[in-house]
Amino acid sequence: MEPVTVFCAQRWAVGRCDLEIGSDTMKQPAVYIMASQCNGTLYVGITSDLIKRIAQHKLDHFSGFTKKNNVKLLVWYEMHETIECAIAREKSLKTWQRSWKIELIEKKNPYWQDLWHQIVGNLTLVSLESP
């Protein structure tokens, strides 16, 4: 399994540790950015279960901003050691200018690919709710 870098942005200091990708890793606190398309509408969020949260966005589980703006592409994410670190990072990113967020995304994902399959492999997303 490939190592994932985990960041802690609390108090503007960055700490690092390595985790292996697996079901337990995705249960780690994470900050993520979703987009409607390349250079489209952006949404910054936080979760303790990245796979579940992104699936909820993709299936329009939440009514509101992401559903209204068709924000379904996971274009950036960052795992954190603690929920406090993730909250601090999310609050920081939400104050950033749009151009800074785009630069952050394009450093790791220059073609704005949906990173969903990077976190779930070949798992297929199916809604069990009736239309």
CA distance linking residue 42 with residue 47, whole number of Å: 16
* Rounded Cα gap, residues 24 and 108, in angstroms: 23
From the DSSP assignment, how many helices (H) and strands (E) are in the chain?
6, 5
Domains, in order of start, for the chain: 3-116 (3.40.1440.10)
Distance CA 111, CA 75 (A): 9
CA 124 to chain centre: 18
pTM of the model: 0.77
Give, for 15, the enclosing helix (H) or strand (E).
strand 15-20
Which tens digits make up the pLDDT trace of 27-45? 799 999 999 999 999 999 9
> What's the mean per-residue pLDDT of the chain?
80
pLDDT band, residue 19 (cuts 50/70/90): very low
Taking residue 94's Cβ as centre, other Cβ atoms within 10 Å add up to: 12
